[in-house]
Amino acid sequence: MEQRHCCEDSPGPGPVQAPQTAVCPQVKAKPGPGGCRAPGLLLLLALATAGAMAGGLLGFTHSPPKPLLQMLRLTLPSPGASRSNQTAQVDAARNVATIWVTSAQSNCSWAVLFDGQSGCVCYRPSEHPACFLRRMEPRDRETLQLLVNMSRGQGPPGPSQDTHSAQQLLAVLGGREVDPAQVGDSVRHLCTKTPIYWARRAQGPQRQRLIYLCIDICFPSNICVSVCFYYLPD
């Protein structure tokens, strides 16, 4: 039976001649379409894949690292350092700062959270099973920005010899417990398993009120505030 090879010429009208081995090397299996070009295509494909992987690795190596979320603790040089110890925990990426205060006299502690995301200030006394929440005011945002700047290496304003003291009276709406789903993550984390109540500045003429709790806090701007809470009647 007549047998053809992949590269032999078509036979002429004369007698059958032996195949020319010098023209095309002998193969063991019949190649598919484009069989003589398949190894070259596979080699090109392998080189292209290796080049893409190498380029991806080089790009990953030279890409700048993503900034990590950092929690910075600052020891506040408050004017009332002899009366209390204060530490600020600042999360600049989330615009949140928490000031932890421990009284040197009574050994009581409390936390004041400035949450720039939700626009609230939250008070958490450790000795009372409750959190008090109020809306941020312009001065609160200035305090938060000052703490964020300090966490970034920008120092507080120049030292002042005068310390300003103030009192803030907040009325607690005891009959209106706040739904934790309506507050930010920072407030929920601070007040885990603790009821949260709205508080607002006392309005109307000054009159005698039954004070429930007072906490003192000093800021880097040499302002110390005594925040006192009282409950409104239901």
pLDDT tens for each residue of 63-100:
444 444 445 565 655 554 456 788 889 999 999 999 99
Lookup result for tokens 């350092």: 81
Q: Using DSSP, state whether 43 is helix, strand or coil.
A: helix
Instruction: Please tell me the distance from the alpha carbon of residue 109 to that of residue 98, in angstroms, as a whole number.
Output: 13
Range from 44-58, 101-115, 164-178, 190-204 carrying the lowest mean pLDDT: 44-58
Cα dist from 16 to 10, 44, 195, whole Å: 11, 40, 103
Instruction: Please tell me the distance from the alpha carbon of residue 100 to that of residue 118, in angstroms, as a whole number.
Output: 20
pLDDT tens digits for 172-189? 988 889 998 889 899 999
- Assess whether pLDDT exceeds 80 at residue 217: yes
Q: Which two tokens stand for residue 163?
A: 């310390």
pLDDT of residue 232: 76
151 Rama class: left (phi>0) / alpha (psi -120 to 50) / beta: alpha
Q: Would you say 170 and 215 are in contact if contact means Cβ atoms under 8 Å apart?
A: no
- Assess whether pLDDT exceeds 50 at residue 7: no
User: From the CA atom positions of the chain, what is the Rg in Å?
Assistant: 38
Cα dist from 142 to 76, 149, 170, 176, whole Å: 16, 11, 20, 29
pLDDT tens digits for 121-174? 999 998 888 999 999 999 999 999 999 988 888 766 555 556 788 888 898 988
Lookup result for tokens 């032996």: 18
- Assess whether pLDDT exceeds 90 at residue 195: yes
Q: Using DSSP, state whether 166 is helix, strand or coil.
A: strand
Average pLDDT, the chain: 73
